[in-house]
Amino acid sequence: MHLSDLWFIAIAVLWAGYFVLEGFDFGVGILLPVLGRDETTRRVMINSIGPVWDGNEVWLLTAGGATFAAFPSWYASMFSAFYLPLLLVLVALIIRGVAFEYRGKRDNSNWRRGWDAAIFLGSLLPALLWGVAFGNVLRGIPLNAAHNFTGNFFTFLNPYALVGGVTTLTLFTLHGALFLALKTTGDLRKRAARTATAVSAVAIVAGAGFLAWTEASYRTLTTGAGAASVALAAVAAVSLITAAAANLVKREGIAFTANAGAIAAATAALFTALYPNVLPSTISAAFSLTVSNAASADATLKVMTVVAIIFLPLVLAYQAWTYWVFRKRVTAPAAGTTNP
């Protein structure tokens, strides 16, 4: 295996980790106005992700940094083409982060309602736009011979990409509902489980449709990696159905784990379907960016590999320790406590 192939796999793993971990953060934010019937409930929902949401976003930064270093041509073409959608995602994430920090700075219901709306929108937009973006990466965009984007914003609003957006939106919302059912108690836990049941039906239909469309129309290879993509899509489908079934019988741990597996397997299926391309051109296949023509020099990839081998286990160990420390369920605060 060439180092460029190894780093393509590494970037796929980073995106899978980001979607699994940040996915339930987004889901909790999306469900804030749905399940947060009063200030106490909303506080519990936000506290459930409070210790981990900012750490989860590091996966996005690492994925972007790894793409920039390992595949500079891919990074340059993709970020220039997707400039407006990615700007919207960035602004949404900034507003969301500020909202988490500022909503409790003033004991005023209107103040908190405004920041709660910011958390909702800051979670909804990325959950939708990441699916639209990945749909367009799989489908391809108009790249010319110089690998410059020749389309416009409306190029991204095609049916396949929009189905991708609905898929990530529903999967992340389901992930958030299952996380709340796992991490909270009382009435919130019950309502989160009921919400997960309702959302899972939509997620199964959207996810199955998007993955089937991907494998039928946008899978690059028919053997090898292509067969692996089909197998991973099947794993994702089975995992998603398992999550829905486990939620019905109140096995929250199994449901959340299975849904995490579905998101990871679906992400792996998409990247495997894309390989060996990294950004196909809809103008001509000769203009497509691939793992080989978009990669950095071997010396760069070797240095990156050594650094990753040394530091990645430390980062993973620290994040695992964080989740272990904050593993217990979150309960409603005692009456009269200060808003966080």
Report whether 153 contacts 132 (CB < 8 A).
no
Report whether 96 contacts 29 (CB < 8 A).
yes
Residue 110's CATH number: 1.20.1630.10
Cα separation of 176 and 293, whole Å?
A: 39
Question: Of the candidates 193, 214, 17, 42, which has an alpha carbon nearest to the alpha carbon of residue 113?
Answer: 42
User: Residue 58's domain spans which residues?
Assistant: 3-325
Question: Of the candidates 49, 63, 43, which has an alpha carbon nearest to the alpha carbon of residue 21?
Answer: 49
Does residue 169 form part of some domain? yes
How confident is the prediction for the chain on average, in pLDDT?
92
Residue scoring higher pLDDT (327 or 248): 248
Cα separation of 208 and 264, whole Å?
A: 15
Chain segment 262-307, per-residue pLDDT in tens: 999 999 999 999 999 999 999 999 999 999 999 999 999 999 999 9
pLDDT at res. 221: 77
Percentage above 70 pLDDT, the chain = 97
**Which helix or strand (DSSP H or E) is residue 289 part of?**
strand 289-290
Report whether 63 contacts 89 (CB < 8 A).
no
Does residue 264 form part of some domain? yes
Query: 41-65: string of b/e by CB count within 10 Å (b at 16+)?
Result: bbbbbbbbbeebbebbbbbbebbbe
Question: Of the candidates 5, 217, 52, which has an alpha carbon nearest to the alpha carbon of residue 13?
Answer: 5
Copy the structure tokens of residue 79.
């970020």
Give bridge partners of residue 290 from the DSSP assignment: 277
Does residue 337 form part of some domain? no
Average pLDDT over residues 27-39: 94
Chain segment 151-179, per-residue pLDDT in tens: 988 999 999 999 999 999 999 999 999 99
Does residue 339 form part of some domain? no
Q: What is the band of 59 on the pLDDT scale with cuts at 50, 70, 90? A: very high
Q: What is the band of 333 on the pLDDT scale with cuts at 50, 70, 90? A: low
Does residue 51 form part of some domain? yes
Question: Of the candidates 310, 323, 34, 299, which has an alpha carbon nearest to the alpha carbon of residue 183?
Answer: 323
pTM for this model (two decimals): 0.93
Copy the structure tokens of residue 182.
């796992």
Cα separation of 114 and 100, whole Å?
A: 11
Does residue 340 form part of some domain? no
Does residue 36 form part of some domain? yes
Copy the structure tokens of residue 115.
């920041």
Chain segment 94-115, per-residue pLDDT in tens: 999 999 999 988 888 899 999 9
pLDDT at res. 334: 57
Report whether 35 contacts 195 (CB < 8 A).
yes
**339 pLDDT higher than 60:** no
Counted domains in the chain:
1
Does residue 76 form part of some domain? yes
